[in-house]
Amino acid sequence: MTHRDRNRAFAPEHALRVLMVDSERSWRGGQAQVRLLMSGLAEHGVSVTLAAPGDGELYRRSEGLAIQRRAVPPGWAGVLALRRAMASGRFDVVHSHAARAHGAVAVARVGLARRPCHVVSRRVDFAVGRGAVSAWKYRRGADAYIAISEGVRRVLVDGGVAPERVRVAASGIDLAKFEGLKDRDAVRAELGLGAGTFAVGNVAALAPHKAQNDLLRAAAIVLAKRGDVRFFIVGEGALRAPLESLARELGIESRVVFTGFRADALDLLRAFDIFVMSSYLEGLGTSIMDAQAVGVPVVATRTGGIPELVDDGVTGLLVSPRDPGALAAGMLRFLDDEGLRRSCAHAARVRSSGYDYRTMVYKTLDVYRELCENVGSPLGPDGAD
């Protein structure tokens, strides 16, 4: 189907009505993807309503989009609010974007005589729980799943989701956001980086699965061999204090900068010589996409959907997860080989032209269309086939 066909199928006079549900208050990659999706759907004539915590970042940052917003309270009050919204008959599709949202919508739909189709976006490659509640939630609590990578799709199928209920629509980025970034040399000067100093950076939430502890241990190995490298960990999270403590224990605190959350993270990213993703679980990795789009070579772990972005030795380097030695070896390989850095960065930048978020929007529309061609939800009112 062409883009013109998509526009015609969802013309405003026949607008598909979608209720987007997100339960998170913080702003992370998933929320950024929801905002991009809502913006793109609205551009294609879809009537979008966001249901999210009124004090959350997604709710706040969605102001100004061509959508409607509903503040959803926490707990059972939120479940009842979602049930009333779905029972009103105003929505064709409910699209959940976080684990708690998935569960809340699944419960809220039970017993409704006319149920909107339920689509769940899955962005993490954590194993699906094996308990009875998880089994019901994943096997009966949604009509279709949208996995952001083949790696996530495999996790869902391995967890008991029927393969025919899983589609893949990779996360995307807004390529326009790279226009007008600060001058690279100016940013490096702000960071105190001299001409002979390499900057190695990581941009991610400070969470266990991002494994910045492995990155710090790898940094200690690199710094024992080279004195011309500084490390930047950009992001915030509950693990910041333990990570700062680990840097002190390793004796590298003077060569590692914890920047915290930075609104100008893209400017910092462009100033790096190498980007490192140290995760042991990763659904896909939009920060890798960002690094590739600005021409920064990437060393990343071979886990989840990352190999779908990084072709080892061609668009970056892949190493084993949870292996600081391997991570250090990858960084040292790039540091020692300018030609390899340049070739990988160039190849990755060429590939990044295919990361436009509109592809995610089109594939999501295809899922909606496929479901809505059926008469309501393909699952019965009690959640059974």
pLDDT in tens, 2-32: 443 444 344 444 579 999 999 999 998 999 9
> In the prediction, which pLDDT does 5 show?
41
Q: In the block, which residue shows the tokens 């025919």?
A: 164
Domain membership of residue 379 (yes or no) is: no
> In the prediction, which pLDDT does 140 show?
85
Structural domain span for residue 222: 177-354
Q: Which of 68, 81, 92, 66 is nearest to 23 (CA)?
A: 81
Q: What is the pTM of this model?
A: 0.88
Domain membership of residue 53 (yes or no) is: yes
Are 319 and 362 part of one and the same domain?
A: no
Domain membership of residue 56 (yes or no) is: yes
> Containing H/E element for 321?
none
> Containing H/E element for 179?
none
* Total domains, the chain: 2
Q: How far apart are CA 315 and CA 343, in angstroms?
A: 8
Are 164 and 195 part of one and the same domain?
A: no
From the CB of residue 41, how many other CB atoms can be counted at a distance below 10 Å?
A: 25
Q: How far apart are CA 24 and CA 27, in angstroms?
A: 8
Are 107 and 181 part of one and the same domain?
A: no
> Containing H/E element for 33?
helix 29-43
> In the prediction, which pLDDT does 369 show?
92
Domain membership of residue 380 (yes or no) is: no
Domain membership of residue 383 (yes or no) is: no
> In the prediction, which pLDDT does 14 show?
57
* Cβ contact 306:289 at 8 Å: no
> In the prediction, which pLDDT does 139 show?
84
Are 138 and 200 part of one and the same domain?
A: no
Are 162 and 303 part of one and the same domain?
A: no
Are 8 and 68 part of one and the same domain?
A: yes
Q: Which of 159, 81, 88, 73 is nearest to 120 (CA)?
A: 159
Domain membership of residue 381 (yes or no) is: no
> In the prediction, which pLDDT does 10 show?
43
Domain membership of residue 287 (yes or no) is: yes
| Residue 319 belongs to domain with CATH number | 3.40.50.2000
Q: How far is CA 262 from its chain centroid? A: 17
- Please name the amino acid found at residue 107: V
Q: Which of 354, 331, 221 is nearest to 273 (CA)?
A: 331
68-71 β-sheet, strand order: 68-71, 47-52, 17-21, 93-96, 117-122, 144-147, 166-168
Domain membership of residue 382 (yes or no) is: no
> In the prediction, which pLDDT does 373 show?
82
3-class secondary structure, 254: helix
Specify the pairing of strand 274-277 against strand 198-203: parallel
* Cβ contact 117:143 at 8 Å: yes
Are 154 and 77 part of one and the same domain?
A: yes
Are 105 and 158 part of one and the same domain?
A: yes
> In the prediction, which pLDDT does 323 show?
98
Are 46 and 124 part of one and the same domain?
A: yes
Are 161 and 256 part of one and the same domain?
A: no
Are 270 and 341 part of one and the same domain?
A: yes
Are 249 and 286 part of one and the same domain?
A: yes
Residues of the chain falling short of pLDDT 50 = 1-13, 375, 378-385
